[in-house]
Structure 1
């Protein structure tokens, strides 16, 4: 479910700002909004223009904290800002000599990397760079030219020039090389190469030997440089190791002060003309179950005031979404967040997804043995690693086990357990029909949820005239009733009944936009281009009717995968020689691992596809914004 939110405004003297942030925002979960944007109609509001005074000490604290493998202290120690700053500045001074050396090594490394980058394309050139740089009567240019221009240069220009171009390296975009030209022809040749967008690359006297020798020398210098940096890092770490707990606690303390100060970015300040005093204003959202305690605390606080707004329709920004589900359903929130959080006035589909995903997975992957393996493996992984996906696998494994008993299948053996319900391989048509019927039921539930969402949003079109509203629901249910009647050999309903329950819903869907405007008493009922409107609506209606059919048939995959799972395990049993009464255990084990791994992954993806495309698309927008309280920082 989605927690109810209350919009609050906290105000008080500007001098109390830091204390309010430190006390209330770090105690209660409050999602902050920009006060200037939210209260734009209020006059004389100004932003805070103060510079963060903790910026320098925070950067030093962060640099020191990054020296340690762990970023949080093993034991929290309460300290004042002064104590924390003293610890950080003292440790920073202690590291100044090593920091200075490391900076020099860093500059040297950047220079070496630049030298390496320049010389690398010319490695095939078998001539010493320093000797080329010493030429007096022959001019030279190192550089690169685009592949397109190089092709034209080679075909049409090169033969007519008194120059020699030596190609070195190349890739899909450029050709690197060097050209030599007599001094008398240099100006003319340089002009021609410039017209071909030849980019000069300057090589300095630092390069001695052939490009390959220079490149290998730079690699060696980079390795030595990295060893020196690693040695300094290790020395820094050793020098600070005895004070690691102090430094990490000081770092966390300064983080709190710095973060608290940065709240000014979303606050506003104003003046009270009578007193000529400055006041701050903070706006945000808080869960309704926390509002009473916050108000009681602020009532005891002199000069600090908190105002709440129950009618959120007057608030400019939409409320954030905070999900609150039972612990057993919480892992499935991962699927919801992947699609997008529900809007504040939508139904939270976590419960629906948890139940339907688990049941569909179990139907498609019914096997007692493999299901138990998934359940146990998922539980262990979730217990040790707390991975939500592991809990989902465990839940799906439980339902797979249940359906395995229904099918009478354990590790692919069909003759050990009696099937409680049916054997998929022996009842193919029954399984497929049940799958479609089950899917149709889920589609109806999705439509009902969409209608409820429409009621919560007060959206007339969504409730009555939408494809998944009342009109769409009546049409779809009536089609299903007709299909069942025909399949069972019963007579169809009378023509007037069909007209009412099939024709009228289609007309309402066709005219949903003008009918919505009529109900909402809008001035413009029909759009200006009426012909285009009716043409588009006709084709949309055709697509809608077709989608009812395709969405229902899409659930055939539920039964198809149940059959294919049984068939694949049948093949494994065939290879293992199970029909002879003495199966090869190794083949059975390998076959079960292969089928469970491959088909389990495919089934998991296919079930998620059904959730997103066949059900979510009917009722869920996923346009909500997450609840991000300042306290979580």
Structure 2
């Protein structure tokens, strides 16, 4: 419904407490912090906090170690103890040396999940002890199931074998033999097509387990320090004070102050206008119904803090236009049901928009007398409610087509005039008198376009003629002159020179084509709304095809009915949704909306 009002806050403390202050700021769900570089300057004698962040390198080193051995480095929720830089560097050097052997062992084997199971079964024998044996050699691998049967037939073999794991295709085995019989034994297993798997030189899991707890503790400490140092960009130093400046929603100020209880800080609140060099962020505030439509606004551009939030207008016009173009009571009900369920389950804004436009689809579907493409089922209801011969609005009646198209243009004209009024309100708010009085979307454009719409309506509907010099000169001629001289007149109001920068010759030539484009845009923008009527006919025509196919397919009619409705809902719904959004962006936003706002971003999102 509006843009949330902000307070400019300043949080300051001493050098001894600034890290605790910064930690509280970093976890706040209310603070949008400003980079210190945006308000520190020579006039206020402030300085940026410049401290080398060595912890970023520590974090990367620990992550690389974990990656090399297949160990996920994940920080804990809290720190168990603190470490000096010397302790951290010594620990990293130690684990790098220890895990180099583990890394080499991991890289030398490309193991399947079944290989891992077999290796786990062999782990009980101790890999290091197996490699240290002087007179006995060990080997492991997988044998095809057919080779296992042949192995049982070998007599007087000079080896001992154990089965580690089995599947329907392979058996994983480990054999041990004296060094004097190694060559003979290998020859036997080579003939049986043994796929050898290298036995690791060290037990990586055992080594990892020895260091795991300390590794996680050091990583947690370094990660937290790294994130804290990354927030130093928000700290400004003024003499002995360490200051964070930012914006907090006005209604959350009391909650924000409570977050610093127990910390020696000073919090001051000001109006955003007290710091004109800082741009307040934009936080949209809308009710449940219009909240999903914020997505369309932010896709285009956030409104500036001092502008208006167009979300409600977008929500109303989008639902209205979509409902007209996709008018079907039954299909609209499915859109409502499916959209609201998906919104609740997935918290998806687009699904929420689908659910809401389904309501207006139901409304216009009822007025059009259409239920899943059936154009006759609501005739008795319309006759009883509206006292009509058949239906209140018969879209498929050929005599109604011209009325429908003219109505679409009238809807477009009304929306164009409304957007002009919104534009004028914005310029009044910003005291931008040149744009207010002389632009095609300001007062001059409103008079010009409004008069033409009234004159055309009077000529063809009410029978009176306003297209005479008496009316055309003040309501058409003067606005066109104002369009032409908008730039010099705006400069005159601002107290600047009236002469254009490029001289009168260049100005007249360029402005002539600009005014011609303005006049042409009024025509094209109005005609663009013909698509509203066109899609009403398109939707009705597609459903007529579906109902015809249902009648032609006999017993398969119900299946064709369901598939046809789903197909039309998917295809037509997507096209209508896109075309409605196009009308919002190109025909409406272009007349009143500038955007360019800065998103309200919590400092906690940097953490």
Q: Structure 1-normalised TM-score?
A: 0.70
Q: Is the 8 A contact 2:62 2:92 kept in 1?
A: no
1:258 aligns with 2:226: yes
Instruction: Quote the residue 1:462 is aligned against.
Output: 435
Q: Is the 8 A contact 2:25 2:604 kept in 1?
A: no
SS of the aligned residue for 1:327 comes to: coil
Instruction: Quote the residue 2:515 is aligned against.
Output: 541
Q: Quote the Cα distance in structure 1 between the aligned partners of 2:103 and 2:338.
A: 48
Aligned to 1:375, which of 326, 336, 343? 336
CA-atom RMSD in angstroms: 3.9
Unaligned runs of 5+ in 2: 111-194, 383-390
Question: What's the offset of the Cα at 1:551?
Answer: 0.6
Q: Is the 8 A contact 1:58 1:255 kept in 2?
A: yes
Give per-residue Cα distances to partners, 1:219-275, cap 9 Å, x unaligned.
xxxxx9xx99xx99x97799679989x99899777655432332212322232xxxx
Question: What's the offset of the Cα at 1:553?
Answer: 1.0
Indicate how the Cα distance of structure 1 residues 89 and 360 shifts in structure 2: closer, same or farther if over 3 A, else same: farther
Q: Quote the Cα distance in structure 2 between the aligned partners of 1:451 and 1:247.
A: 63
Q: Structure 2-normalised TM-score?
A: 0.73
Instruction: Quote the residue 1:34 is aligned against.
Output: 35
Question: What's the offset of the Cα at 1:478?
Answer: 0.6
1:417 aligns with 2:378: yes
Unaligned runs of 5+ in 1: 110-223, 272-277
Instruction: Quote the residue 1:591 is aligned against.
Output: 564
Indicate how the Cα distance of structure 1 residues 525 and 259 shifts in structure 2: closer, same or farther if over 3 A, else same: farther
Q: Quote the Cα distance in structure 2 between the aligned partners of 1:415 and 1:92.
A: 82
Q: Is the 8 A contact 2:489 2:498 kept in 1?
A: no
Indicate how the Cα distance of structure 1 residues 264 and 81 shifts in structure 2: closer, same or farther if over 3 A, else same: farther
Aligned to 1:287, which of 249, 265, 270? 249
Question: What's the offset of the Cα at 1:91?
Answer: 11
SS of the aligned residue for 2:82 comes to: helix
Give per-residue Cα distances to partners, 1:408-459, cap 9 Å, x unaligned.
1111111112256302111211221111111111111111111122123222
SS of the aligned residue for 1:544 comes to: helix
Aligned to 1:630, which of 577, 581, 603? 603
Instruction: Quote the residue 1:472 is aligned against.
Output: 445
Indicate how the Cα distance of structure 1 residues 626 and 517 shifts in structure 2: closer, same or farther if over 3 A, else same: same
Please identify, of 609-618 and 344-353, the stretch whose mean Cα deviation from structure 2 is larger. 344-353
Q: Quote the Cα distance in structure 1 between the aligned partners of 2:583 and 2:589.
A: 9
Q: Quote the Cα distance in structure 1 between the aligned partners of 2:93 and 2:557.
A: 68
Indicate how the Cα distance of structure 1 residues 252 and 430 shifts in structure 2: closer, same or farther if over 3 A, else same: farther
Q: Is the 8 A contact 2:24 2:259 kept in 1?
A: no
Question: What's the offset of the Cα at 1:24?
Answer: 3.8
Please identify, of 283-292 and 401-410, the stretch whose mean Cα deviation from structure 2 is larger. 283-292
Q: Quote the Cα distance in structure 1 between the aligned partners of 2:221 and 2:100.
A: 23
Q: Quote the Cα distance in structure 2 between the aligned partners of 1:235 and 1:70.
A: 16
Please identify, of 32-41 and 377-386, the stretch whose mean Cα deviation from structure 2 is larger. 32-41
Indicate how the Cα distance of structure 1 residues 591 and 57 shifts in structure 2: closer, same or farther if over 3 A, else same: same
1:498 aligns with 2:472: yes
Instruction: Quote the residue 1:446 is aligned against.
Output: 419
Indicate how the Cα distance of structure 1 residues 446 and 293 shifts in structure 2: closer, same or farther if over 3 A, else same: same
Give per-residue Cα distances to partners, 1:346-373, cap 9 Å, x unaligned.
2111111111111111111111222222
Instruction: Quote the residue 2:147 is aligned against.
Output: none
Q: Is the 8 A contact 2:40 2:236 kept in 1?
A: no
Instruction: Quote the residue 1:335 is aligned against.
Output: 296
Q: Quote the Cα distance in structure 1 between the aligned partners of 2:66 and 2:475.
A: 70
Indicate how the Cα distance of structure 1 residues 71 and 607 shifts in structure 2: closer, same or farther if over 3 A, else same: farther
